[in-house]
Amino acid sequence: MIGLSSWTGRVALAQGGTVIPALTESGLLPPGRHAASMREIREIFVEQAPHADHRRRIFRAFELYSDMIRDILERGTFWVDGGFCSHKAAPPEDLDLAVLIDSSLPLTDKDHERLIPLFTLQGVQAGQPQVWANRVQPMGGLIDSFPVVAGIPEQEEYWDATWSKVKGPDGELVPGAVKGYLEVSW
Span 33-85, pLDDT tens digits: 999 999 999 999 999 999 999 999 999 999 999 999 999 999 999 999 999 99
Q: What is the CATH number of the domain that holds 162?
A: 3.30.460
The range of the structural domain enclosing residue 83 comes to 32-185
Give domain status of residue 126, yes or no: yes
- For residue 169, the model assigns a pLDDT of 85
Give domain status of residue 130, yes or no: yes
Give the residue among 76, 72, 51, 80 at the shortest CA–CA distance from 143.
80
Give domain status of residue 168, yes or no: yes
- For residue 9, the model assigns a pLDDT of 42
Give domain status of residue 17, yes or no: no
Q: Please compute the mean of the pLDDT values over residues 1-21 and round it to a whole number.
A: 49
* Spatial distance between the Cα atoms of 161 and 179, rounded to a whole number of angstroms: 10
Please give the tally of structural domains in the chain. Answer: 1
Give domain status of residue 11, yes or no: no
Would you call 126 helix, strand, or coil by DSSP?
A: strand
Give domain status of residue 9, yes or no: no
Give domain status of residue 18, yes or no: no
| Percent of the chain topping pLDDT 70 | 90
* 13-27, 39-53, 135-149, range with the lowest pLDDT: 13-27
Would you call 25 helix, strand, or coil by DSSP?
A: coil
Give the residue among 85, 77, 52, 45 at the shortest CA–CA distance from 179.
85
- For residue 18, the model assigns a pLDDT of 65
**Identity of residue 67:** D
Give domain status of residue 24, yes or no: no
Q: Spell out a b/e string for 35-64, using b for 16 or more CB atoms within 10 Å of the CB, else e.
A: ebbbebbbbbbbebbbbeeebeebbebbee
| Percent of the chain topping pLDDT 90 | 78
* 9-13, 155-159, 171-175, range with the lowest pLDDT: 9-13
* Spatial distance between the Cα atoms of 14 and 158, rounded to a whole number of angstroms: 35
